[in-house]
Structure 1
Amino acid sequence: MSLGRYDYDRRYRRRFWARFGKFAMFAVVLLGVGLFAYQMGIEQLKGRDVTLREENAALSRQKAELELLASQMQHAARTAEAKAAELEARLQREVPTGDLARLAGLIGERLKGGMDANRLAFVITQAQPVRNCQQPENKRFALATPLLKTGNRAVTFGNNTVTVSGEGQSARNPQGAQESWFDPAQPVTIKVTSIGGKQTVATGVLPLHHAVVVDNAEYRFTFTAGARSFVEVTADRCPFP
């Protein structure tokens, strides 16, 4: 009986340890699988972390580039706005409006119609505000030249208060020889002499404009080329001041 009991206990222990061994082996395998899976998960997480870091760095670079581009575009927009404002101000300054635009249109029409620009400028300069002036006097005199210095070479205005005379350069004929009359295309010298001997001079190519004040009166002269040898003089006499 004791031998049978012994065999039974031994077989029981063997079965126990066999089961325990299988369980331990299963646990070891399961633990190995778990560790392997854990390690794989760690590696995947590390790889994903690296990928995310790279993507984040790329996004940061793109953000910096976009911010730089936005700053450049804002600067360009501000520059464009400043230029537009400058052009608008320049347009307002240079493009005539109102009465000035109307006058500019009239001048343009006259120039297109063939009117000489110098003649038109002369007419405009003669337009003056309404003043209490006497009726203009129109006279003419022969302009002295190197070949023609004798004779009546002056005219007077204001009851001989002001004397006007002058001299010019001799014209030349087709052969180049000097003539006695002056050349209206060359500068002339006009002398305005008032009582007491005070003299003022206007020099240049006709037409010329000149003004003097004598005895509380302002004489405003316009000198233009007339018939051969002659200078036409228009004198306005107005109170001064």
Structure 2
Amino acid sequence: MAIGLKEGRRMAARARRWTLVKRVLLLAAFLAVGVFAYETGATRTQYRVERMEERLAAQDADIARLEAEKAEVDRRRLEAVQNEMALQARYDRDVPTGERKALFEMLLERIDAGLEEARIAFLLREAAPEPVCDPEPATKRFVLATPLHDGANASAQFAQGAITVTGEGAAELTEEGLPQAWFDPAAAVTLRFTAIGGDATEAEGKLPLDHSMRFGGNEYRFAARAGDRSFVRVTALRCDFPGADAEPATESAAVPPGGSGG
């Protein structure tokens, strides 16, 4: 009986040791699984971190590229705006408008009519903002000729008789349509400015008319207005002509303002 009791104790001790071993093995297995899971998770995490860093680096590169492209677009846009402003400024400077356009068109017309460009350049260089003129103009009147009247007092003289002003107009009609001896002030007239030597210029249109001509190294500015019945009042002002000392004194030229005359 003592032998059986002893054997039972050995078996119980062996069972306890085996239980302990199993527990140790199970714990080791758990530890191994945990270590493996940790290593696997760490590896995957590291991989994800690396991939994310690569994507971030690629995004940073894309952002830098886009910013560079945007800067280039902004630079080109600014350059285009500056070029447009420069072109607009050049257009405003080089293309005449308003009164300058009308003056430029008149200049082209004079050149097309045969006036030498050197002559125009000379006149422009010599032109002064404030011409020197006589202190008082001279005013005279004459009877404007009509188909029914071409007699006395049909002219007026200026520049000490060197320039003669004559003209003709349409006869005024009565309510019955009968022509009168005097001119119709509401109709167009023709004024003729004749200098000694035969040089003549004309101004045509409805009164009042402004006209100018050059004679004897001077510029004569005429203003014609309707006067009493049959009469035209002409006021003349003499002014120094630019470059008169360097130019022949026998030339005359009509420069009617506002497109009147010729």
TM-score band by shorter chain is 0.5 to 0.7
Q: CA deviation at 1:143?
A: 1.6
Structure 1, unpaired ranges of 5+ = 1-10, 91-126
Cα deviation 1:90-130 (Å, max 9, x = unaligned):
7xxxxxxxxxxxxxxxxxxxxxxxxxxxxxxxxxxxx9533
Which residue of the partner structure matches residue 112 of structure 1? none
1:46 aligns with 2:22: no
Q: CA deviation at 1:177?
A: 6.0
- Tell me the distance in 1 between the aligned counterparts of 2:32 and 2:67: 51
- Tell me the distance in 2 between the aligned counterparts of 1:28 and 1:172: 136
TM-aligned CA distance change 1:159 to 1:25, over 3 Å: closer
Q: CA deviation at 1:180?
A: 4.2
Checking the alignment, whether the CA contact within 8 Å between 2:131 and 2:240 is kept in structure 1 is: no
- Tell me the distance in 2 between the aligned counterparts of 1:49 and 1:172: 109
Q: Which amino acid aligns with 1:201?
A: E
Structure 2, unpaired ranges of 5+ = 1-10, 93-128, 245-262
TM-aligned CA distance change 1:64 to 1:24, over 3 Å: same
Which residue of the partner structure matches residue 132 of structure 2? 130
Cα deviation 1:125-157 (Å, max 9, x = unaligned):
xx95334x3753210112223443344311122
TM-aligned CA distance change 1:67 to 1:145, over 3 Å: farther
Checking the alignment, whether the CA contact within 8 Å between 1:165 and 1:191 is kept in structure 2 is: yes
TM-aligned CA distance change 1:72 to 1:159, over 3 Å: same
TM-aligned CA distance change 1:38 to 1:187, over 3 Å: farther
Q: What secondary structure is seen at the aligned counterpart in 2 of 1:144?
A: coil
Q: How does 1:12-51 map to 2 (within 5 A)?
A: 26-51=27-52
Q: What secondary structure is seen at the aligned counterpart in 2 of 1:149?
A: coil
Q: CA deviation at 1:59?
A: 5.1
- Tell me the distance in 2 between the aligned counterparts of 1:166 and 1:134: 27
Q: Which amino acid aligns with 2:131?
A: P
1:208 aligns with 2:210: yes
Q: Which amino acid aligns with 2:230?
A: S
Q: How does 1:1-241 map to 2 (within 5 A)?
A: 26-58=27-59, 60-69=61-70, 72=73, 79=81, 83=85, 128-131=130-133, 133=134, 135-172=136-173, 179-205=180-206, 206-214=208-216, 218-237=219-238, 241=244
- Tell me the distance in 2 between the aligned counterparts of 1:175 and 1:60: 98
TM-aligned CA distance change 1:209 to 1:48, over 3 Å: same
RMSD of the TM alignment (CA)? 4.3
- Tell me the distance in 1 between the aligned counterparts of 2:227 and 2:70: 72
Checking the alignment, whether the CA contact within 8 Å between 1:202 and 1:210 is kept in structure 2 is: no
Q: Which amino acid aligns with 1:213?
A: F
Aligned residues: 187
Q: CA deviation at 1:37?
A: 1.3
Checking the alignment, whether the CA contact within 8 Å between 1:170 and 1:180 is kept in structure 2 is: yes
% identical aligned pairs:
30
Checking the alignment, whether the CA contact within 8 Å between 1:138 and 1:233 is kept in structure 2 is: yes
Q: CA deviation at 1:232?
A: 1.2
Q: Which amino acid aligns with 2:132?
A: V
Q: CA deviation at 1:231?
A: 1.6
TM-score (ref. length: structure 1): 0.55
Checking the alignment, whether the CA contact within 8 Å between 1:141 and 1:231 is kept in structure 2 is: yes
Checking the alignment, whether the CA contact within 8 Å between 1:207 and 1:225 is kept in structure 2 is: no
TM-aligned CA distance change 1:59 to 1:192, over 3 Å: same
- Tell me the distance in 2 between the aligned counterparts of 1:46 and 1:136: 105
Which residue of the partner structure matches residue 104 of structure 1? none
Q: What secondary structure is seen at the aligned counterpart in 2 of 1:41?
A: helix
